[in-house]
Structure 1
């Protein structure tokens, strides 16, 4: 029987949201940092509404600072899983263990920085280990527009799905009768207003 290539269908029940290293030290070093932060924040709100687990990492926080407040204020006790790391990839032994303990997770949505370093290496590790990866295009960035663009092209070559916040929202709810339809709709309106000001 011919193997069917995945087309990237995603659902809340089998997904997780990874937030990669959105830390204070990077604030003035990352291309369109505010844009990336707000999209990540709105995605976190949607994930909480849809009961999607959230995994957050900090890269060497002693030197690079803690997760910025706009993101950390969305953390929920016992629901947001936080990990510190020194490796560039989020696919650390601790996070691998977490994923192995939560076998329902098949798809990973990812936001954060740097697209060409930690995000890229995380996605490659996840894809190599059988996970579908959905990169939220507006919620990842790098030190420059060029580095970001090249990283997204590289990841697409390796099988990652490059998508948008709005597209993911509608994919995760699938029907206007969904109980979270109004919440998601409100999030999209909020996103458009914020982005218009940035």
Structure 2
């Protein structure tokens, strides 16, 4: 049963961005809205000092992360992978472990493949996973929605950008409250 102790905070959360690359990112259902929400999430996590781990699936074949997000990830380096799930890659596994964080805020594509396999493996390892549903997508709504159902059944917390950002801040007294809420307008 979920409780308030499951909430992500700036001290326990990590943002994991999965494979928002090239032409594939552009053919996702509601691609522009998804990329916009991912951008808000990245900017807010940086303001809140939440670490970011950034994955790219076979970048030599699928291309780099979309430029709108790369500019917001300045100072970070993507981790190239060939496993579908991030946990299947040693570099990504180590980056997640090294963060010392146990709440994973998860965004990216495709919801039913790389994002699902990442979430399932993280749950199996005991991490609390917060799927940011408006910052993930698949080529079809059906595939995305099936993934939402599988993840919920696996104990993943379904969330959205605004929900997770307000959870991270905790209250209106947070020193970055105005900066973060400005991103949501």
Contact 2:102–2:127 at 8 Å: present in 1 too? yes
Of residues 99, 103, 107, the one that matches 1:102 is 99
Of residues 50, 53, 77, the one that matches 1:52 is 50
Of residues 119, 135, 138, the one that matches 1:142 is 138
* Residue in 2 that maps onto 1:76: 74
Q: Mean alpha-carbon deviation: is it higher for 87-96 or for 64-73?
A: 87-96
**SS state at 2:129 partner:** strand
**SS state at 1:139 partner:** strand
* Residue in 1 that maps onto 2:149: 153
Once the two structures are superposed, residues 115-148 of structure 1 have per-residue CA deviations (whole angstroms, 9 ceiling, x without a partner) of 0000000000101001100011100000101110
* Residue in 2 that maps onto 1:93: 90
In structure 1, the gaps of 5 or more residues are: 190-198
Deviation at 1:179? 0.2
Of residues 94, 97, 109, the one that matches 1:113 is 109
Contact 2:138–2:144 at 8 Å: present in 1 too? yes
Q: Mean alpha-carbon deviation: is it higher for 27-36 or for 67-76?
A: 27-36
Of residues 156, 172, 177, the one that matches 1:176 is 172
* Residue in 2 that maps onto 1:192: none
Deviation at 1:183? 0.9
Contact 1:54–1:81 at 8 Å: present in 2 too? no
**SS state at 1:175 partner:** coil
Shift in alpha-carbon separation, 1:48–1:134, aligned structure 2, 3 A: same
Distance in 2, matches of 1:27 and 1:165, equals: 18
Distance in 2, matches of 1:142 and 1:174, equals: 31
Q: TM-score, normalised by structure 2?
A: 0.94
Q: TM-score, normalised by structure 1?
A: 0.88
Distance in 1, matches of 2:96 and 2:148, equals: 24
Deviation at 1:81? 4.4
Structure 1 moving runs of 4+ over 6 Å: none
* Residue in 1 that maps onto 2:18: 20
Distance in 1, matches of 2:138 and 2:160, equals: 17
CA root-mean-square deviation: 1.2
In structure 2, the gaps of 5 or more residues are: none
Distance in 2, matches of 1:143 and 1:29, equals: 6
- Which of the two has higher C-alpha Rg? 1
